[in-house]
Amino acid sequence: MITEFLITAGEQPKRLDIFLVGRERDTSRSALQRLIELGRIRVNDQAVKPSHRIKPGDRITMDIPKPEPLSIQGEAIPLEVLFEDDSLLILNKPPGIVVHPAPGNWSGTLVNALLHHFQTSGGTISTIGGKERPGLVHRLDKETSGVMVITKTDAAHRALAAQFKLHTITRVYEALVWGVPKKGRGVIDLAIGRDSKDRKKFSSRTSSPKASVTEYVVTRRYGKVAAHVLLYPQTGRTHQLRVHLTSLGHPILGDRTYGGSKVMALVDLEVPRVMLHARTLGFVHPTTAAREEFTRPFPTDMEYVMQELERLNGPTGRTLDSTTADCATDGEQC
């Protein structure tokens, strides 16, 4: 439902989100901030930040979706568990599954699968993330596969969150990209944030840039058509790897959002999804203090695309192991 109102002459200038908290008492400040970031709350028809200061005469337009009842149920969705103890669960997320419930995805998510897993096993799950994001210290995009850590206690959650913040989490990703980077190794240092014109995308064209750094290594070339790269994010911004590779002129295969139609098919090869995989995750165990590291190879759909690229173009260049680069990494979602 869309509502519109004017700021009256007697209103004192203040942050938009703070003003709205006093007006929309049934909606939390964090929820209002998300709606502002998504462009569903605008000032004078302009997308703004939650910190924007309103003033008398401003016209605020609000397009707030009708709330859906949130009662997240466990669902018997298979999980590939790599490790589990009283503090943590490490899993290999398959491509195509949304991590947590949100409008349009209230069921069939990884959280639904986790709730079922713990309900049947008798385990616990951290509550710090709230009802929608229990146990989640970090996320992966829907189409990204790979290793994730889930916290089972609040103490474990706080300990892992601190490691992410201190940049001591080791993360290695691998991707198939369109074309071949000129340099076999490099560092992409490009501040990014929510795109100022398209609120569903992230880019350097933003009013709130955040420092973002990614190291990359080209490990295999398929003629001039595509390449396999290892990625070492030193920060963890939303869509960071996708945006950074696009900034090089080499978007990830299957990433229509940032690469357009050209990355969806090569010759007779159709690309089924974004070809991005979270290969390795390393951290200090919050209970034992031992350094742990978990690695899973890319799934069968990515393997198939690589085999077809090799058949059509032939690989060139040497293949490197992930240990050829030593990066301490952190991040929220890539």
DSSP conformational letter for 109: S
Number of helical (H) and strand (E) elements in the chain, helices listed first = 7, 20
- Which residues, 6+ apart, have CB-to-CB distance to 82 below 8 Å? 90, 91, 92, 147, 294, 296
DSSP conformational letter for 48: -
Identify whether the C-beta of residue 81 lies closer than 8 Å to the C-beta of residue 90: yes
pLDDT tens for each residue of the chain, 334 residues long: 688 889 988 788 889 998 888 777 667 788 889 889 989 999 999 999 999 999 999 999 998 776 554 578 899 999 999 999 999 999 999 999 999 887 767 788 999 999 999 999 888 899 888 878 889 999 999 999 999 999 999 999 999 999 998 889 999 999 999 999 999 999 999 999 988 888 789 999 988 899 999 999 999 999 999 999 999 999 999 999 999 999 999 999 999 999 999 999 988 899 999 999 999 999 999 999 999 999 999 999 999 999 999 998 866 644 444 333 333 333 444 5
The string of DSSP codes covering 230-247 is: EEEESS--TTHHHHHHHH
Catalytic residues: 141
Per-residue confidence (pLDDT) for residue 25, from 0 to 100:
66
Residues facing 329 on adjacent strands = 169
Q: Which helix (H) or strand (E) holds 138?
A: none
Query: What is Dmax (Cα atoms) for the chain?
Result: 71
Work out the angle at residue 119's Cα, subtended by the Cα atoms of residues 69 and 332, and round it to the nearest 5 degrees.
70
Residues facing 291 on adjacent strands = 284
pTM: 0.75
pLDDT tens for each residue of 83-95: 999 999 999 999 9
With CA atoms as reference, report the closest residue to 11 among 47, 59, 46, 45: 59
With CA atoms as reference, report the closest residue to 108 among 72, 146, 81: 72
- The residue count of the chain comes to 334
Domains of the chain: 2-63 (3.10.290.10), 81-161 (3.30.2350.10), 167-324 (3.30.2350.10)
Task: Tell me which long-range contacts 205-208 makes (C-beta under 8 A, separation of at least 24).
Answer: 207/49, 208/49
- Cα 275 to Cα 165: distance, rounded to the nearest angstrom: 27
Identify whether the C-beta of residue 246 lies closer than 8 Å to the C-beta of residue 259: yes
HSE value, Cβ hemisphere, 13 Å, CA-based, for 185: 9
- Cα 216 to Cα 186: distance, rounded to the nearest angstrom: 6
Per-residue confidence (pLDDT) for residue 66, from 0 to 100:
63
